Chains A and B, each alone.
Chain A
Amino acid sequence: MNRILRRNETLVALLIILLSLGIGLINPTFFTVANVFDLLRSIIVTGIFAMGVLIVIVSGGIDLSFTAIAVFALYCTVRLMKAHAPDAPIWSAFVVAAVIGLGLGLINGFFIARFKFPTLIVTLGTLSLFEGFLLFAIGNQIIRDVPPALTGFARSSLVSLPSARGTTVLHPAILITAAVVLLVFFLLNYTTLGRGIYALGGAPEAAERAGFNVAHIQYFIYGFVGVLSGIAGMTFGSLARQANPQDIVGTELSVIAAVVLGGAQLTGGRGTVMGTILGVILVAIANNNLILIGMPTVWQRVVIGIIILIGTGLPAIQARRANKRLSGATSA
């Protein structure tokens, strides 16, 4: 019991419940299906990004470039489609975006695995590099007349229910997020590679001694994050029905914040899929629903800041207490 209470997931879940009850009591629309669908829609893209960020953080690294990869993959895919295959099906757009993402992710992987550069430095560099290259060499105009496959996808619905505002739609892209979540859950918990990612984040030297091929793992991590970013970028673009090269970049810190809030530790080796989902949901509620209780948009950022400080501060204090007790018992 004590163990469950001390888990970060429990704390974040409690925060979600408290926040939901608080908002719902003041404004009952919070608990309508329409609002829940809206909330789910708002975590589609962040959820995919967050899974990538989780993997990197568990491995002891950090990736700042994933938003640049996403927008790069989105913009290039849309340009390619318009120029060469305007009638291509939607799945092919995702495949192309994923491949572009993979390529860019492997560039990160190359510098990190081959030259052992700090991940923060490499991805800080490639964030600028990818975005700058996109704007300079590929294009800086917003593409509004996207191929029909994208608009078709944007209009599709998984569930549609009549509601006070007309019809309420749950977008099928949530299935992409769900699939990514399941895939990452399986990867991290049931594959040797996934355990290698935890091992690498926990004790890099020991991972090497145990026989993990650390370079391969790092290539995989950054390549995989590239793929996820490409898919997330494509999803973002098709939901927005446009490809804007200035979009997405700039949101990386709020994704990282959601993941950290979910219990992943920037020092590596710790973080769960469950916690990450909860972190993403909590941030989404704070982002989308505080308006329901009449809180001005600018204040939402303040609330998110407070939630992050509480959500990451409390476990840190608990950990320090536990540590003190432990060291008091062993070194006295």
Chain B
Amino acid sequence: MADEFLQLSGIYKSFAGVRALQDVDLSIERGRIHCLVGENGCGKSTLIKIIAGVYQRDAGTLAIKGKEHEHLHPIDAIREGIQVIYQDFSLFPNLTVAENIALNEQLAEGRRLMNWRKVHHIAADALAQIEVDIPLDARVEEVSVANKQLIAISKALRQNAQLIIMDEPTSALTEREIRTLFAVIHKLQARGIAFLFVSHKLNEVLEISETIIVMRSARIVSTGDRKEYDTRRLIFEMTGHSIADKSYEFTADTSQPAILEVEGLNIRHALQDINLQVRAGEIVGVTGLLGSGRTELALALFGLLPMDSGRLTMDGKRVGIKSIQDAIAHGIGYVPEDRLTEGLFLEQSIGRNVVVRTIDRLRSPLGLTDPRRVAGQVSEWVDSLRIKTADPRLPVKTLSGGNQQRVVLAKWLASKPRLMILNGPTVGVDIGSKDELHGMIRQLAGEGMGLLVISDDLPELLQTCNRILLMRHGRIVEEIRPQDTDENKLTAKLIEEETL
């Protein structure tokens, strides 16, 4: 084909005897949007690193613009116009937007002195190319995630990108920001720039991509035009088996008081007159747009945000929650949105993370921790939550997103809470693990725990919850039963206020 930019064939790659890529063929066309999907550990990252020149292949051929490269080094890949935008964007939070965009060019040209006027000029020009407006003098840490991504894209463009590879491009963006990103991508596509996305979010993948490439266990198992795929087929190709999607059935036992009852909860500027109930065995979803107050609600219930007024009752008894300690004492657990920074000690071992909450209960009569009991509890949780690791003594950061989320869960479950608040439980988790996590949530509910699931992943809420609370401007505006709605209706309700 004439408009082929990159051609890989028969690529093999192993690490210490473990096969990461097996006979992979891939072609990327100019001006086309490709999406690489697959569960964690299927070889996606390895493939991208080979394209970027970070890893060298064991066998196979790689040709860019028809020219074969025996060895491709990162600098060659960049010269040929391949730009990878990693999830952390490789930006400098402490420097201005302008400097972030222009710095690479300064370096590449080997300049020793900074020409600030030129830096501004370069940055203004780069942002104008994608027709977005971000204040050039703002520090990058002050701009939104979406803008960081646009900055990373304009940086790539300044380096004559012809293929932009983006890792999880939509994972931290709101609906509206995703629209902006897609508009930018379509603009660049019209100029002949090819894209390769790597993503877990199936709906967005389906929407923007033209070519879909599915990987499973080190191989490309399926590739073709977007029109040939629907969610069901994608899930099947990625996991090798079908996943059920029916909603959670629940019948309330009204003879018992609710685990948690909230009446008239108010927090100035954040929450207004919140009333809600969670019964034993219930899975209650909470969703809402940016600024709707859903995170604040979780924080308030977990004692992280002081309430101005309101009445909390747990198991029929009035309680006050003023601190995290109070919340924990009353059996409330919270898995934060950002598990990497708030929920886990990344450098510490999996085992230590699991027992950190309950270490006091594992003491021997002398007051020292009993290593055998600790090890026993760790292996119990690793087994029951099916955490995939060679050794629980390895640091948590060696685990995939889905497995990390299980460690956070294990940490809380070990202390046997009555109510678990999960904020974005499957953000950044691949589809197979997601399904298992959903199964776990249901199982916990089945054992009598109450769960409050905060998420903007609507299919997830529809699938796991028995009712969904819709928040807007700090209020709960509607209670929805999953069986009475579908994803499109729910999306319409969510964005209603924006069109008002």
Task: Give residues in A with beta carbon < 8 Å to B.
Answer: 189-195, 198-199, 201-203, 205-207, 209-212, 268-270, 326, 328-332
Contact = CB atoms under 8 A, between A and B. Distances in A.
A332 B291 contact: yes
Interface string B102-115: 01101110011110
A190 B91 CA distance: 20
A269 B103 CA distance: 15
Interface in B289-309: 290-296
Nearest to B84: A209
A268 B95 CA distance: 12
B114 A332 contact: no
Q: Which of A190, A211, A212 has the most CB of B within 10 A?
A: A211
A48 to B, nearest CB: 24
Contact of B92 (A189, A191, A198, A326): A198
Contacts of B111: 192
Contacts of B294: 332
A194 B296 CA distance: 41
Contact of B295 (A192, A194, A331): A331
10 contacts: A190-B113, A191-B112, A195-B99, A195-B114, A209-B90, A212-B107, A328-B291, A330-B144, A331-B295, A332-B292
A211 B107 contact: yes
Contacts of B108: 211
Which 9 pairs, one residue from A and one from B, show the smallest C-beta to C-beta distance? A269-B94, A202-B94, A202-B92, A206-B90, A211-B107, A332-B291, A332-B295, A209-B90, A203-B92
Given A198-B94, A203-B94, A332-B290, 8 more contacts: A190-B116, A192-B112, A194-B114, A199-B103, A326-B142, A328-B270, A332-B291, A332-B293
A190 B113 CA distance: 6
B337 interface: yes
B88 interface: yes
Contact of B112 (A193, A206, A269, A332): A193
B93 interface: yes
Contacts of A191: 112-114
Task: Say what secondary structure dominates the interface of chain A.
Answer: helix
Contacts of A328: 270, 291, 295-296
B93 A202 contact: yes
Interface residues of B, number: 31
Interface string B133-150: 000000000101100000
Contacts of A329: 290-291
Contacts of B107: 192, 210-212
A275 B215 CA distance: 53
A147 B142 CA distance: 55
Given A211-B108, A332-B290, A332-B293, A270 B114 contact: no
B52 to A, nearest CB: 11
Contacts of A207: 92
Nearest to A194: B114
A195 B104 CA distance: 11
A199 B116 CA distance: 16
A190 B116 CA distance: 8
A210 B104 contact: yes
A194 B113 CA distance: 9
Given A192-B113, A206-B88, A211-B108, A332 B95 contact: no
A200 B290 CA distance: 33
Contacts of B292: 332
A330 B290 contact: yes
A201 B95 CA distance: 10
Interface in B78-101: 88, 90-95, 99
A206 B95 CA distance: 12
Contacts of B113: 190-192
B150 to A, nearest CB: 15
Contact of B90 (A194, A195, A210): A210
Given A190-B114, A212-B107, A330-B290, A206 B92 contact: yes
A324 B221 CA distance: 45
A189 B93 contact: no
Contacts of B295: 328, 331-332
Contacts of A194: 114
